[in-house]
Amino acid sequence: MAKLNLGRVAFVLCGEWAEGTYNKLDVVYYAANNNTYVSRVDNNTALPTDSSKWLIIADVATSIAAANAATARANTAAQAAEEALAGLVDEINKIHIVDDDNGKTYAGIIHVTNGKPTLVYDEKTGG
Q: Tell me the CATH number at 28.
A: 2.10.10.20
Q: How far is CA 5 from CA 41, 43, 92, in A?
A: 17, 19, 74
Residue at 120 is within a domain: yes
Please give the share of the chain, as a percent, with pLDDT higher than 70.
Answer: 98
**Is residue 84 in a domain?**
no
Q: Over the stretch 88-104, which tens digit does the pLDDT of each residue have?
A: 777 777 777 888 888 88
Query: Is 34 inside a domain boundary?
Result: yes
CA nearest 53: which of 68, 38, 67?
38
User: pLDDT (tens digit, 9 = 90+) per residue, 1-14?
Assistant: 888 888 888 999 99
Position 115 scores a pLDDT of 84
Mean pLDDT of 73-95: 83
Determine, yes or no, domain membership for 81: no
pTM of the model: 0.53
Over residues 25-54, the mean pLDDT reads 96
Residue 32: inside a domain, yes or no?
yes
- State the total domains in the chain: 2
Enumerate residues 6+ apart whose C-beta is below 8 A from 34: 60, 61
- Distance CA(123)–CA(107), nearest Å, equals 6
Surface-to-core class of residue 40, CB atoms within 10 Å of its CB (0-12 exposed, 13-18 middle, 19+ buried): middle
Structural domain contains residue 18: yes
Domain encompassing residue 106: 94-127
